[in-house]
Amino acid sequence: MIVLKSPQEIAVMREANQIVAELLQELKARAVPGVSTRELDEIAERFIRKKKAKCAFKGYRGYPNCLCTSVNDVIVHGLPSSAELREGDILSIDCGVYYKGFYGDAAITVPIGRVSERAQRLIQTTRECLHLAIERMVEGNRLSDISHAIQTCAEKEGFSVVRDFVGHGIGRQLHEDPQVPNYGQAGTGIRLKTGMVLAIEPMVNEGHWGVRILKDGWTAVTEDGSLSAHFEHSVAITDNGPLVLSEGI
Ligand code: MF3
Ligand code: CO
């Protein structure tokens, strides 16, 4: 069942998502060679506590950390560790918070120092996919118009979109209906309505879309070892068009 949110609820969800946006901004500045993803996770924990919010991922289905930190061929759900970031890596940082009864969820992929041109192109394309998807979030459009925009944008650059993970509704639960695949034909699925809030999260691989899960049960990597990027925004559909609740990253 899809839960529609009132303007008041959307305002609170914006507050939750602004905590995420501010934190991701800070983590982006701190993600440099020599820093470990565990250090970033500790910064996130402290920041979220100071804002009187809670880490949404920690404890979710047993997830052990506050952030997901996914380096290079890790697509999503990378576990923070003592391994240091190195010049040339790309790092996806995914963060969720719980605040005043609602969830916020967003992700970015950042270069560590100088990165290759193809890595830059992958990051840029994935960000572009998210923005084109958000433009489709207008009342009356269909759910798959979002999915189709993402797939088209990634594939025109010769990249592929991950099938095994999807975007989602968000609100009083981290994951609500509907699921939002990052691929599909335009013009099918439910009609978009004012009051829907969706977390749109394209995951784009440089090579094939195949996924493998490591033995830790979480870390999702590209089957072919190619690079992967991930961007996510929580977005409300309003009478004035899409409102990016986590904007400002
Ligand atoms: N942004 C991802 C999602 O919405 C991250 C979830 S991590 C988990 O599914 F630990 F909460 F699963
Ligand atoms: Co999400």
CA 120 from centroid of its chain's CA atoms? 18
57: CA distance to ligand 1 center in Å?
A: 6
DSSP helix, strand, coil percent of the chain (3-state; round to 5): 30, 30, 40
pLDDT digits (tens, 9 = 90+) for 41-57: 999 999 999 999 999 99
CA 202/CA 133 separation, integer angstroms: 9
Q: For position 98, what pLDDT does the model report? A: 98
Q: For position 176, what pLDDT does the model report? A: 98
pLDDT digits (tens, 9 = 90+) for 185-213: 999 999 999 999 999 999 999 999 999 99
Residue type, 56: A
**Which residue lies with its CA nearest to atom 2 of ligand 1?**
94
**Which residue lies with its CA nearest to atom 6 of ligand 1?**
57
CA 178/CA 193 separation, integer angstroms: 12
Q: What are phi and psi of 191, to 5 degrees?
A: -85, 140
Residues whose CB is less than 8 angstroms from the CB of residue 212 and which lie 6 or more positions away in sequence, other chains included: 220, 221, 222, 223
Q: For position 136, what pLDDT does the model report? A: 98
CA 8/CA 164 separation, integer angstroms: 34
Q: Give me the residues paired with residue 237 across strands.
A: 242
Cβ burial, residue 73 (10 Å; 0-12/13-18/19+): buried
Residue whose CB lies within 8 A of the most ligand 1 atoms, among 17, 20, 57, 179, for a mutation test: 57
Whether the upstream peptide bond of residue 64 has omega within 30° of 0, thus cis, is: no
Confirm if 232 and 105 have CB atoms less than 8 A apart: yes
Q: For position 89, what pLDDT does the model report? A: 99
- What's the full length of the chain, in residues? 249
Q: For position 56, what pLDDT does the model report? A: 98
147: CA distance to ligand 1 center in Å?
A: 19
- The answer, as to whether pTM is greater than 0.85, is yes
Residue ranges in the chain whose pLDDT is less than 70 = none
- Measured from CB, residues less than 6 Å from any atom of ligand 1 are 57, 60-61, 63, 68, 77, 94, 105, 107, 168, 199, 201, 232
CA 40/CA 61 separation, integer angstroms: 22
Looking at the chain, the number of H-run helices and the number of E-run strands are: 4, 15
Q: For position 65, what pLDDT does the model report? A: 98
Residue whose CB lies within 8 A of the most ligand 1 atoms, among 55, 68, 198, for a mutation test: 68
